[in-house]
Amino acid sequence: MRIAVIDGQGGGIGKAIVERFRQKLEDSVEVVALGTNSLATSLMLKAGADEGATGENAIIHNACRVDIILGPIGIISANSLLGELTPLMAKAIAESPAKKVLIPMSKCNVTVAGIETKPIPNYIDDAVEIVKTMIK
């Protein structure tokens, strides 16, 4: 099972997701860190991702080569993450056959109705639990 964690800017969300995966999931899950910038990729690799790549082409190339994609909700919205996520990246992620588990964040100007307001670490824990059920 290959899981891509996609993040940008400072990479904090991606780093936290990878850390939770390494704490709660078996090592048989391959975690691929895909960053919109090298800082985000580097942090995810330091957190325990198996491999990583950076930039538009890396995200487009790998989006259809993984089973599950995780990241902030903005990864399916063109020009989000302060413009780091290009329209081609968003398209590749949204159209990927991979299952997507997205962390709701209001910074991306996308609000999902019906989602309770809680701290980001709680959403990350929820995302890891969702992936655990997908793997079984």
Q: CB of 135 within 8 A of CB of 24?
A: no
* Segment-wise mean pLDDT, segments of 10 residues, the chain, 136 residues: 94 94 83 97 96 98 97 93 93 98 81 84 92 87
Instruction: Give the pLDDT of residue 96.
Output: 98
**Third-level CATH fold of 2-135:** Rossmann fold (3.40.50)
pTM over 0.85: yes
Instruction: Give the pLDDT of residue 25.
Output: 80
Instruction: Give the pLDDT of residue 6.
Output: 97
Instruction: Give the pLDDT of residue 72.
Output: 93
Angular region, 30: left φ>0, alpha ψ -120 to 50, beta rest: beta
